[in-house]
């Protein structure tokens, strides 16, 4: 009779260990964090090319936080941050109506068709960069990184949308 009771206790212990391990395995992250390094490489690649460059990179981030030199991407799997090596970013976030004209340039329209003149374009890019530097908050990401490089009189502008 004692052997039966010992087996029952052993089986109960094994069942508890099994359920504990199963719970640990099921709670592990199945979604990898966004690859900020690949996004930074795309931005740097566009920055190194001439004006009129448009590049895209798909990512799995749900949210983005961007400044002039550094950005962060995050999703359910975690978050990653990265810096760009060349130039200064002009970040444009999804649905930002304040910088709608920059969004049009990011989408492929020529800056001359969107802005009245060079100074209006440069003023808007300077304002967007200053806003991003002073207010780096998480905002919704589109799932596609878009980068457009504009060169005016030798001055390179890198417009980035996440």
Mind listing the pLDDT tens digit for each residue in 41-66?
A: 999 999 999 889 999 999 999 999 99
- Torsion angle defined by CA atoms of residues 62, 66, 78 and 162, in that order, rounded to the nearest 10 degrees: 30
What pLDDT, on a 0 to 100 scale, did the predictor assign at position 26?
A: 64
Q: Is the pLDDT of residue 156 over 60?
A: yes
Interval 95-141: pLDDT, tens:
777 789 999 999 999 999 999 999 999 999 999 999 888 777 899 99
What proportion of the chain, given as a percentage, has pLDDT over 90?
Answer: 66
DSSP string, the chain: -HHHHHHHHHHHHHHHHHHHHHHHHHTS--SPPP-HHHHHHHHHHHHHS-TTEEEEEE---SEEEE-SSEEEEEETTEEEEEE-SSS-EEEE-TT-GGGHHHHHHHTT--HHHHSSSHHHHHHHHHHHHHHHHH----EE--SEEEEEEEEETTEEEEEEE-
- Write down the pLDDT at residue 132: 85
Query: pLDDT by residue (tens digit) across 6-41?
Result: 677 777 777 778 777 776 666 666 789 999 999 999
What mean pLDDT comes out for the span 151-159?
Answer: 93
What pLDDT, on a 0 to 100 scale, did the predictor assign at position 96?
72
């Amino acid at each position: 009779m004692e052997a039966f009771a010992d087996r029952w206790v052993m089986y109960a212990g094994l069942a508890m260990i099994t359920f504990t391990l199963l719970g640990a395995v099921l709670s592990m992250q199945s979604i990898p964090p966004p690859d900020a390094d690949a996004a930074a490489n795309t931005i740097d690649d566009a920055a190194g090319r001439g004006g009129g460059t448009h590049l895209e990179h798909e990512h799995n981030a749900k949210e983005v936080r961007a400044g002039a030199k550094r950005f962060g991407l995050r999703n359910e799997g975690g978050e990653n941050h990265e810096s760009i090596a060349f130039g200064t970013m002009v970040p444009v976030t999804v649905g930002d109506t304040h910088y709608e004209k920059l969004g049009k340039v990011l989408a492929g329209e020529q800056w001359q068709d969107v802005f009245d003149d060079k100074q209006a374009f440069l003023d808007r890019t300077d304002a967007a960069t200053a806003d991003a530097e002073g207010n780096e908050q998480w905002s919704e990401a589109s799932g596609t990184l878009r980068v457009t490089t504009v060169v005016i009189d030798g001055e390179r502008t890198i417009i980035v949308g996440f």
